[in-house]
Amino acid sequence: MKVAVLGAGAIGAYVGAALHRAGADVHLIARGPHLAAMRRNGVHVRSARGDFTARVHATDDPAEVGPVDHVFLGLKATSYAACGPLVEPLLHDTTAIVAAQNGIPWWYFHRHGGPHDGRRVESVDPGGRVSAVLAPERAVGCVVYAATELEAPGVVRHLEGTRFSVGEPGREVSARCERFGEAMRAGGLKCPVEPDLRNDIWLKLLGNISFNPISALARATMRQMCLHGGTRQVIETMMRETLAVAEALGCEVGVSIERRLAGAEKVGDHRTSTLQDLERGRPLELDVLLAAVVELAEITGVEVPTLRTVHAISDLLALGSAA
């Protein structure tokens, strides 16, 4: 199996190293000092599960890689619409794009069934610009439960979790998902093929939609947000509103808000990815987390006043950070 990891940052390089260890033909596409380090020394993974090094081919030129069976997309969702020149050289007729993104994916209503089947979510696919680059027919959804960080160029620190759930938009258990899952598991990761990945999307989103924007607005860690009474109450309300939208779309999260908050509190003084992006002057990935759910609430007729308020304030923050 030939795999290209486009956007081989902390998560992408971790996945690529695991797949390489499983015997897959892996190619990491990155740039800058991180690319230079991987070219020189491979990917060093440091983990409580055991350290290892994977000497994987790394490049900044997808044309050097050519067509592959799977593209593991490790880019931020904010980069999807502009990634066409990077993706195109990697595609053949049946190439699958495994998109490891948080929030509502651009393919959400592709083969969804029911009254919203085929509908475009403008917040994540404005004017169809993402679908024009990443055809929904190629999409394999991926919900990431692992946490990693780049400790140094070419060095990935695995913090917790090894689960990467995958699934088809049409809910079938496909051969391409099975092949990818088998390779991930052979590399030491958990990779269940879910009959309906949308349930996992909402489960992960339950935390992201609340903790990520609030952390950026308050410059707060997970523990701080959970222990502050007023903030905790806001987060609980955001979660309740999010669950109502998920249920209106036929999804079941299966985890209580109390359990979700308890798990977040145990994480401790962790800074969310949105807060880290704000501190580093990077674009904030809030459209797929928050704006999309507000749009879905409008589609389904669900009242989400707290989500709307937090979205308005965090959107202003995002505009300021991008200036």
Is the distance from CB of 27 to CB of 42 less than 8 angstroms?
Answer: no
User: Does residue 175 sit in the same domain as residue 28?
Assistant: yes
Report pLDDT for 197.
96
Give me the pLDDT at residue 266, please: 83
Q: Are residues 184 and 272 in the same domain?
A: no
Helix-helix angle 197-218:229-248, to 10 degrees: 150
CB-CB contact of 4 with 27 (8 Å): yes
Active-site position among 76, 190, 204, 266 = 204
Give the domain range for residue 209. Answer: 198-322
Task: Pull the structure tokens for residue 184.
Answer: 């991930």
CATH code, 156? 3.40.50.720
Residues 60 and 123 in one domain: yes
Q: 84 and 184: one domain?
A: yes
User: Considering the chain, what percentage of its residues have pLDDT values greater than 70?
Assistant: 99
pLDDT in the model for residue 322: 64
Which is it for strands 155-160 and 147-152: parallel, antiparallel or unpaired? antiparallel
Whether 20 contacts 5, CB under 8 Å: no
**CB contact at 8 A, 193 and 181:** yes
| Same-domain pairing of 45 and 165 | yes
Give the rounded distance of the alpha carbon of 155 from its chain centre. 20
Confidence of residue 255 (pLDDT cuts 50, 70, 90): confident
CA distance 241 to 108: 19
Whether residues 131 and 228 share a domain: the answer is: no
| 181 plus 202 within the same structural domain | no
- Asked if 72 and 264 touch (Cβ cutoff 8 Å), the reply is no
- Does 320 have pLDDT greater than 80? no
| Residue 264 pLDDT greater than 90, yes or no | no
> In angstroms, what CA-CA distances link 191 with 4, 183, 245?
18, 9, 27
Together in a domain, 191 and 205: no
pLDDT at 238 over 90: yes
Q: Is the pTM of this model over 0.85?
A: yes
The answer to whether residues 41 and 174 belong to one domain is yes
Report DSSP state, residue 66. Answer: -
* Pairing state between β 2-6 and 57-59: unpaired
Q: Give the CATH number for residue 236.
A: 1.10.1040.10
Residue 323 scores a pLDDT above 70: no
* Cβ-based neighbour number of residue 221 at 10 Å: 18
Residues 154 and 37 placed together within one structural domain of the fold: yes
Return the bridge partners of 54, or none: 43
Whether the pLDDT of residue 321 is over 80: the answer is: no
Asked if residue 203 and residue 91 are part of one domain, the reply reads no
| CA–CA dist 164, 176 (Å, integer) | 15
Q: Do 54 and 97 lie in a common domain?
A: yes
Task: Tell me the mean pLDDT in the region 211-230.
Answer: 94
Per-chain mean pLDDT for the chain? 95
State how many domains the chain has.
2
Q: Determine the average pLDDT of the residues in 166-194.
A: 97
Which of the listed residues 160, 195, 230 is the one where a domain comes to its end?
Answer: 195
Instruction: Give the pairing type, strands 96-100 and 139-144.
Output: parallel
Q: What is the pLDDT of residue 285?
A: 87
Distances (CA, A) of 259 to 206, 253, 289: 11, 12, 20
CA 98 distance to own-chain centroid: 10
Q: What is the DSSP string of 94-153?
A: T-EEEEE-SSS-TTTTTT--GGGTT---TTTSGGGHHHHHS-GGGEEEEEE--EEEEEET
Select from 176, 195, 214 the last residue of a domain: 195
204 annotated active-site = yes
What confidence tier does 271 reach under pLDDT thresholds 50, 70, 90?
A: confident
Domain boundary among 168, 195, 222: 195
Distance CA 47, CA 297 (A): 40
Residue 204 in 3-state DSSP?
A: helix
Residue with tokens 């410059």: 219
Three-class secondary structure of residue 186 per DSSP? helix
